Chains A and B, each alone.
Chain A
Amino acid sequence: MNRTHQTRGLLLACVGVLLLTVAAVGADRLQLLSQVRVVLHDVLSPGRLVAAAIAGAEASHSNADSKAELTALEQQVQSTEQQIRQLLIENSQLNNRLRQLKVSKGHSGRHAPLAGFELISARVLSYGGMPSGVRQAMIDAGRAHGLMRSELVLDAQGLLLDQGQDGGVGAGQAVLAGSVVLGRIERTGRWVSQLLPVTDESYSARVRLVRHSSRGTHLGAEGMLEGTGEGCRIIGIPDTASVAVGDEVFSADINGVAGPRLYYGTVSVAQFESAGEWSIEVQPAGHLSDIEQVAVVVPQLNAARTALASQQTISEERQ
């Protein structure tokens, strides 16, 4: 092509673009391009929506993969919240004890608590009673040691744990998952024990309501928690007490011994009854279906106190 012709064409192109640009800027200043923009965006919309839909489908696939991570994170958050609640309760107890110690001006070994608790770890052996294979294996193994069948096998339905009398587990002891109460030991064999869940109609325990606010943790009324078969309820709290949905339910004691507060769940329903008491339903925090490992709360004497007592006895005898 002729060089001059080409250069002329390029020059005309530049001038043409320049004129169009000036016209566009002028039209924009006069608000004449708004309709053109609408048409342009309408022309671009079909492809833009398709690209956005494809991008959304890819995001949903990645969301499906991250749902498992989200579930795990939620469980972690719940367990962390439970730990926080427990720590708040223990903190308030420690503060009370510190005040008492300050009043008494010092402490000695005699002020250490006499009774404490030990946690015995146990795994869930079965969710529906003793499996026949395990039963026979236990009978065969126990027979070799001269043990009777009744000492080995628990003919009962429900959750079975792989700790029994030889592990220090006894009937009536509380069973925890973390700091959440799952129930208590109903019956024990030599090697296994049966769990009575909190929702069972024969379960009952003294509990106390706790409410958290911006000004701290407040201990509420005490009552008796009972299982209803599907959930739990609290009885014995007069209607003069303050109860609200969302209040947390902790143990008042552990087998009658004062100790750390164990978590049961939250108040889901709180209504006045005609008998002058609250009708309270509790949503248990523990779920037996996905439990693999539990801890059994076993009471124990403070070794320091018993050692101190024995030393005193020895010194008195010498005198």
Chain B
Amino acid sequence: MKHLVVLMMLAWGAMMLEQARPELLPAGAVLVPLAVTGMLWTRRGIGVFAGGVVLLIDWIARPQGLPLVPVILTCMVAFVLASRPSGDPWTGRRRRWRLPEWLHPLALSMAGISLLVVPTMSMQFDSLTILLGELGQYAMIAVPLSLLLTGLMKLAGEFGFRRLA
């Protein structure tokens, strides 16, 4: 339960920062990696639900098009968690996915950001170059943040702050 409280507080801080400095932090560049990490941290339905609610609250505060990110990203995370082999995911057991475990948060975060950016750009009929530029701006924030949170998640597992099974 305390993990959910911490996730909510961090999500509040991320939303506050994104609103305070929109020129530096595009909307969702901080919140999406944080929500994905929160969902993967608990590895349970309640964590995934809390992450989805955080993303939905962000959409309510800043509505833009349809709320694809809360629904699709939640389902993607749930699928990834359901597909993982049981036991400690950080051990060297045979996995279905070829993508390394530590890249899951990053891939899911980028998928969530793509769901934020692509519908907006396609509605404006912008070119691919502009789209990639926009994604790049998000990636400059989201990629290092996601990797940092992934590292923290692993450290938490090593030190016993996160349940591994």
Contacts and interface: CB of A to CB of B under 8 A. Distances in A.
B78 A47 contact: no
Contact of B60 (A9, A11, A24, A50): A24
A111 interface: no
Contacts of B61: 37, 40-41, 44
Contacts of B86: 3
B57 A13 contact: no
Given A10-B48, A43-B12, A44-B12, A52 B60 contact: no
Interface stretch (B13-21, B111-119, B129-137, B139-147): B13-21
Interface string B45-86: 111110011001101110100110011001100100110001
B66 A25 contact: yes
A79 to B, nearest CB: 35
Nearest to B74: A17
A36 B53 contact: no
Contact of A11 (B47, B56, B57, B78): B78
A14 B56 contact: no
A226 B38 CA distance: 80
Given A3-B86, A13-B78, A47-B12, A21 B17 contact: no
Contacts of A1: 44, 165
Interface string A46-57: 011111100100
A64 B55 CA distance: 40
Contact of A13 (B17, B20, B45): B45
Given A47-B13, A55-B21, A17 B53 contact: yes
A12 B45 contact: yes
Contacts of B47: 13
A24 B55 CA distance: 12
B57 A18 contact: no
Contacts of A9: 44-46
A33 interface: yes
B70 A51 contact: no
B16 A51 contact: yes
B78 A6 contact: no
The main secondary structure of chain A at its interface with chain B is helix
Contacts of B66: 25
A212 to B, nearest CB: 40
Nearest to A9: B45
A24 B56 contact: yes
A16 B59 CA distance: 16
Task: Determine which residue in B15, B16, B59 has the highest number of CB atoms from chain A within 10 A of its CB, and name it.
Answer: B16
A48 B12 CA distance: 10
Contact of B52 (A6, A17, A37, A52): A17
Task: Determine which residue in A3, A14, A40 has the highest number of CB atoms from chain B within 10 A of its CB, and name it.
Answer: A14
B78 A14 contact: yes
B45 A6 contact: yes
Task: Determine which residue in A14, A17, A18 has the highest number of CB atoms from chain B within 10 A of its CB, and name it.
Answer: A17
A21 B55 CA distance: 10
A48 B21 CA distance: 8
Given A6-B44, A55-B20, A13 B82 contact: no
A86 to B, nearest CB: 43
Nearest to B16: A47
Task: Determine which residue in B12, B21, B45, B82 has the highest number of CB atoms from chain A within 10 A of its CB, and name it.
Answer: B45
B74 A13 contact: yes
A28 interface: yes
A20 interface: yes
A7 interface: yes
B53 A20 contact: yes
Given A7-B82, A55-B20, A44 B15 contact: yes
In the A-B complex, the 6 residue pairs with the smallest Cβ-Cβ separation, listed nearest first, are A9-B45, A17-B52, A51-B20, A47-B16, A13-B49, A13-B45
22 contacts: A1-B44, A6-B45, A7-B82, A10-B48, A12-B49, A13-B47, A13-B48, A13-B52, A13-B74, A13-B78, A14-B75, A16-B49, A17-B49, A17-B70, A21-B67, A24-B59, A28-B63, A36-B60, A40-B61, A44-B12, A47-B13, A48-B19
Given A6-B82, A11-B78, 13 more contacts: A3-B86, A10-B48, A10-B78, A10-B82, A13-B52, A13-B78, A14-B48, A17-B74, A18-B71, A20-B56, A24-B56, A44-B19, A52-B20
